[in-house]
Structure 1
Amino acid sequence: MIKFKLEGEFIPLIALLKAVSLVQSGGEAQMVVEDGLVKYNGTVDRRKRLKVRQGDKVEFMGKTIEVE
């Protein structure tokens, strides 16, 4: 499990994937989200501009990111 400390009210999903180094670029992050490879709180979510907030969990490539 990867723990991510949120600095503000939210972080965009694409920025979160880049911040924890699960993708190399914003373009790659957009592709994996559009392809349905990312789960948000247990459900596949294809929204690129999704706002991830404290307490949310994001799953990608067998890894879980817990936002604190």
Structure 2
Amino acid sequence: MTVYDRYRTLLHKLALVRARAPGGESPEADALLDAMDEVWDAMSEGERAAMERERARLAEASDAREVHA
């Protein structure tokens, strides 16, 4: 698994954890964020740029779901 794929996996896990406990912090979310920081540091500039685009796309999709709910 590439570092980019690892970060994507962690990002999706974080979304699931936050969906289970909206608005609240949790030890699980904190651990995921710490792991994401480590993986982010290992990513290349190109991988980081691609991930920023993906995170923006995921945020837009999340906002759209909230509007329709």
Is this a same-fold pair by TM over 0.5? no
TM-score with structure 1 setting the length: 0.26
Determine which structure has the larger strand proportion and give its number.
1
TM-score with structure 2 setting the length: 0.26
Determine which structure has the larger helix proportion and give its number.
2
